[in-house]
Chains A and B, each alone.
Chain A
Amino acid sequence: MKNRLTLVTIASLLVSLSASVALAEKPLLLYYPTITDAKGIPRMEYHVGEKVCVWITVYASPVRYVPPLIRAPFKILIVVETRGIAYVFGVVSGTITTGQTKTYSFNFTVPKGVPPGFHVVKLMAWNGLISDVLAEWKSLATPVSASFLVVGG
């Protein structure tokens, strides 16, 4: 009985260790990716040449938050793609402290030549651009995405 209890305790410790490693790797939460038109009104369909705004909220959970972020601003990245091919890229810098929630926005114009259909906006958070941080590169949040429809010719 005592041995079984010890085994269960060790297993629990390992599970919590794995969980804490996983959480430490993802200190930020990205949520509520929202797509709106230039007036800030959520909309699903856009034409070529129209402006699209993307809003994303970042939360630094007290549980997940890694203090060094205070000293090193992070990057929020956006990629817009369709049929697996990216055609828009953007990046903004941000800083955040434990427990804080911040919202960032991007905007882009639906370029000529993109095919009609569903397009995906993917948002990511990194500890820096790879060209700056090199092997120290880390993804700080699980990427999130939202989609919109390009209509017309």
Chain B
Amino acid sequence: MRLKLPAIALVLIALTLSVSPALSGSKLVVYTLKKAYEEGEVVTIVVKTSPWAEVGVEVINPLMRTVYADQGIANLTGMATFRVLAVPDLWPPGKYVVYASTPGVYNTTTFSIVGPG
């Protein structure tokens, strides 16, 4: 019994640590549903990572200004979705960079905003 208790404790500690995405070395993929959006359209950002991981996203416009940032919790399948309106004045045409992170890991993707016509 003396030997069993430390073993049980070690297993419990391992289980406790394994539920933390930051410590488990989780991967993260980010993408937008379309590669090009029109001004005024809703941009959908999808992040795929570990289930229940805390996820942050940030969008940088062509003028290197942050136009959107948000956070959420990935669902059971590790997916988190963010939807943001590409407000014409703040979201000029050009290339946008999306940063996504969960503690310990990050990734990026790009998409474009195209002007009307």
Contact = CB atoms under 8 A, between A and B. Distances in A.
B85 A87 contact: yes
Interface residues on A, range: 20 to 34
Interface in B46-61: 54, 56-58, 60
Interface in A12-61: 14, 17-18, 21, 25
Interface residues on B, range: 20 to 34
Contacts of B84: 85-87, 89
B100 to A, nearest CB: 7
A111 B12 CA distance: 52
Contact of B101 (A77, A85, A134): A134
A139 interface: yes
B92 to A, nearest CB: 15
A89 B43 CA distance: 14
Given A3-B1, A7-B5, A84-B83, A91 B66 contact: yes
Interface SS of chain B: strand
Interface centre among A14, A79, A130, A143 (most CB of B within 10 A): A130
Contacts of A149: none
- Give the top 10 A-B pairs by smallest Cβ distance, nearest first: A137-B101, A130-B99, A86-B84, A87-B85, A130-B58, A135-B106, A10-B9, A130-B101, A89-B68, A85-B83
Interface of B: 1, 5, 8-9, 12-13, 16, 20, 42, 54, 56-58, 60, 66-71, 82-85, 87, 97, 99-106
